[in-house]
Structure 1
Amino acid sequence: MKKRSIMLGSIVILAVLLVVGGTMAWFTAEAKPVVNTFKAGTVDINLIDEFPENGIENVNPGDIHSKVVRVENIGSKRAYIRVKLTPEFNPELPVDVVEYTILSDWIDGGDGWYYYKNIVQPAAATSNVIEEVKFKGREMGNEYQDATFTLTVEAEAIQATNGAINDQWGIDPVDLGLEVLP
C-alpha cells in the first residue's frame, strides 16, 4: 500500500508539473527576413553604319565613298568590343582592288577581328573603325563591270571584367595591347 501511495503521489506530481509547465510562457523573438537581391547587368551594343540604305550604284574604278562604322555600348556593363569586316564580290572576284583603312584605335587580333583598344563604358561609343571605301583605279579592270561589292560588318561585345575576354574569345588583353581594368 505504501508502494501504491508513492506511485500515485508521483503520478499526481508529474501531472501537476506538466499542466504548470504547459501553461508557462517564455519571451521569444524572431528576426524579420532579409531579402538580398542581385540583378545582372547587360552587355548590349548597337552597330552604327553610316551608309546609304540602298547602297551605292554605278561605282567606278578610282571612286572613294564614305562609309563610317563604329559601335555604341547600350548595355549597363563596361565592355570589350570587336568588329569583323568581310569583303566580297559577286561574281567572285579578288577583293584586293578595294581599300578601307582600319583606324588607329583598332588592333588587328590576327583572328579576322579588329579589337577596340579601350574598354567602352555604358552609353559611350568606340571611335570609327573605318571612314571610307576606295576602289583602286588601275587594278580594277573590265572583269569588275556589273559586279557587286559587299562589305559585311559584324560586331560583338563582352563584359570587361572577370577574364571573360580570355575565357570566351581566347584573347589576352595585355598581349594584344588592349586596356585592362585595374
Structure 2
Amino acid sequence: MGRKIGTILLTILFAVSVTFMGYAFWTIQSRTDNVLTMASYKAQIVEEYNVPAHVNPSETVQKKVHVKNEGTVDILVRVSVTKVFGVRDADGKLRTADGLNPDMIEISFNSRFWEQKDDGWFYYREILRAGETTREPLMESFTLSAKAGNEYRGKDAEIIVCMESVQADKDAASIWKVRLEELGIVFPKAPAAEKTAVTYLGKAQGFTTNSRNTDLFAAFKNLTPGCGRTQKIAVENKSMETVEIFLRAEQTEQESMSDEQIRLVRQLLTKYAVIEITEGGRLLYRGAVCGSPDSADSGGAAPVQTSQAGAAPGSASMLQDISLGQFAAGRSRDLTVKLSLSPEMDNRFQKLTGKVAWIFSARGEDGSVTKMQVPVTADSTRILMWAALFVTSAFAAAIAVWAERRDRRKEHESDNEDD
C-alpha cells in the first residue's frame, strides 16, 4: 500500500512539473536610437558702412545697421546707440573730447520696426527668427549738423552700436523690465508636440515605431540651457497575447566626435538632461536621460522611485529595466516624457548632439493554460516556480520514504508472528 502511495505522489509531482515546465518564457527586444540636439545661440550686428575721409557740416553719410540671428533658436533683440566726438591717439583709440556735443551727429531712427524706450534702448518689435535678419535697419544714415562750428573741424566721431538678445519666450523680456505687449509682440500658440509611438506586433515581428530612424524624441531638438520640453510616446500591444513591456536605456557610441565632445555628451546625458517618465499619473522614473549607477557620484541627478499606491516599482537607474505594466492584446498606453535642461550649462554645449538608445522589451510565456496561472512578473516568476517545485518534491519524497519504511516494519512484524 505504501509503495502505491509513493508511486501516486511521484506521479502527481511529475505531472505538476510537466505543467510548469510546459511554460516557455521568452523576451523580445527592440532598440530605438534617440537624439537630443543643443541649439546654437548667436546674433550679431550687420553694418553697411564705408568710413569717409572726412564729413562736412550738413553732409549725410550712409550707415545701415541690421541685426542678424545666426543661431538656431528665435530671439528678442534690443540695440543701444552712443555718439561721441574726440581725437585718436597713437594706438588709434578715440579719446573723448570735452565740450563737443554728440547730438551734432543727427540720426533718423526707424520707428516702424524699432521702438526706443525710456531706458534709451531700441527694441525690435518682432521675434527675430533663426537665420533671419531684421526686416528693416535701425538706421540708414547719419548727418553732421549744419550747426557744427569750427571746434568740430579735424575731430573724429564714432557711432557705437551695442546689441543684446535673449531667447524668444513669453517671459524672456522681463529681464529687460519690458512687457512684450508694449512692443506689440504676440507669441503664436505653440504647436502640439508630435506624438511618437512604439508598437509590439508579436514574437515574430517584434516592435515597430512610427518615427523616422526610430527616433522617439521628436520634441527634444534645438535645446537651450534651462529649457523644458514634453514628448508623448504611445506604447501599444497589437499582438494576440498578453505581455509585460519594459524600458531601459543604454549608452551608445557617439559618432565623429572629439574626446572633448564625447566628454560633454556624457555630461549632458548623465548630469544636465533630466527626464521624468509618467503613465496616467504613475511615476515610472525621474533622473538622468541615460541614468547610470554612478551618476549621483559624478554630480548627476539621482533617480528616484515612485511611492504611489499601485504603481509599478521605479528603477534605480535607466540602465535597468523599468516595467511599463501588463499589456493585454490591443491595449495601448501613453507615456509622458518631460525633459529639463540645467541652466548651468555653458556655451561649450552649443551645437552638441547626444544619442541615447532606449531598449523596449516584451516578455511573455507559451504553453497550455491551466487553472493554476503563473503570473508573469519578470524573472521572479521562475524563482518562485522552482522553489515551489523543490518544496513539493521534498514533501513527496519524505512521504514516499515514510511509507516505504512503514511497509517494511509491518512485513518484519508479520514474519516474526509467523515464526
Normalising by structure 1, report the TM-score: 0.76
* CA-CA distance at 1:30 after TM superposition: 6.3
Residue identity in the other structure for 2:106:
E
Cross-structure match for 2:183:
177
Q: Once the 2 structures are TM-superposed, how far is the Cα of residue 133 of structure 1 from its aligned partner?
A: 0.5
1:78 maps to which residue? 74
The question of whether the paired residues in 2 share the 8 Å contact of 1:43 and 1:158 is answered with no
- The change in CA–CA distance for 1:158 and 1:172 in structure 2 (over 3 A counts) is same
Matching residue's letter, 1:78: D
Q: Distance in 1 between matches of 2:179 and 2:62?
A: 33
CA positional deviation for 1:152: 0.7
In structure 1, distance between residues paired with 2:32 and 2:169:
29
Q: Match for 2:55: what amino acid?
A: V
Q: 1:128 aligns with which of 137, 157, 161?
A: 137
Equivalent residue for 1:96?
Answer: 103
CA deviation after TM superposition for structure 1 residue 116, in Å: 0.7
- 2:76 aligned partner, one-letter code: Y
Query: How does the TM-score come out when normalised to structure 2?
Result: 0.35
- CA distance in 2 between partners of 1:130 and 1:146 (Å): 25
Task: Report the alpha carbon displacement of residue 41 of structure 1 after superposing the two structures with TM.
Answer: 2.1
More strand by share: 2
- Gap regions ≥5 residues in structure 1: 1-19
Distance 1:155 1:169 in 2: 13
The equivalent residue for 2:169 is 161
Kept in 1, the 8 Å contact 2:49–2:63? The answer is: yes
CA contact (8 A) 2:170 2:180 kept: no
Partner SS, residue 151 of structure 2: helix
Q: Which amino acid aligns with 2:54?
A: N
What's the CA shift for 1:38? Answer: 2.7
Give 1:144's aligned residue.
152
Give 2:124's aligned residue: 116
The residue number in structure 2 matching 1:37 is: 35
63, 69, 87: which one aligns with 2:59 = 63
Mapped to 2, the partners of 1:121 and 1:130 lie a distance apart of 20
**More relative contact order in 1 or in 2 (CA 8 Å, sep 6+)?**
1
Task: Report the alpha carbon displacement of residue 56 of structure 1 after superposing the two structures with TM.
Answer: 1.7
Q: Secondary structure at the match of 1:37?
A: strand
Q: What is the aligned counterpart of 2:48 among 36, 50, 56?
A: 50
Residues 29-55 of structure 1, C-alpha deviation per residue, up to 9 Å, x if partnerless? 264465543323233223111111xx2
1:131, distance to aligned residue in structure 2 (A) = 0.5
Runs (5+) with no aligned partner, structure 2: 1-16, 87-96, 189-419
Contact between 2:85 and 2:156, CA under 8 Å: does it hold in 1? Answer: yes
Closer/same/farther in 2, CA of residues 137 and 78 from structure 1, 3 Å limit:
same
Secondary structure of the 1:56 match is: coil
Aligned with 1:86: secondary structure?
Answer: strand
Which amino acid counterpart does residue 112 of structure 1 have in structure 2? Answer: G
Identify the residue that residue 107 of structure 1 maps to in structure 2.
115
Matched residue SS, 1:38: strand
Q: Counterparts of 1:26 and 1:169 in 2: how far apart (Å)?
A: 66
Q: Aligned partners of 1:162 and 1:62: how far apart in 2?
A: 44
Alignment deviations for residues 75-134 of structure 1 (CA, whole Å, 9 cap, x no partner)? 111211111111111123111111101102100122221011011112221111001101
Contact 1:74 / 1:122 at 8 angstroms: preserved in 2?
yes
Structure 1 segments of 4 or more deviating over 3 A?
30-37
| Aligned equivalents of 2:123, 2:54: Cα separation in 1 | 33
Q: Which moved more, 1:37-46 or 1:57-66?
A: 37-46
SS at match of 2:173: helix
Report how many aligned residue pairs link the two structures.
Answer: 160
Query: CA distance change for structure 1 residues 163 and 40 in 2, over 3 Å: closer, same or farther?
Result: farther
Task: Measure, in 2, the Cα distance between the counterparts of 1:37 and 1:178.
Answer: 36
- 8 Å contact 1:47–1:71 — kept in the other structure? yes
> CA separation of 1:141/1:81 partners in 2, compared to 1, >3 Å: closer, same or farther?
same
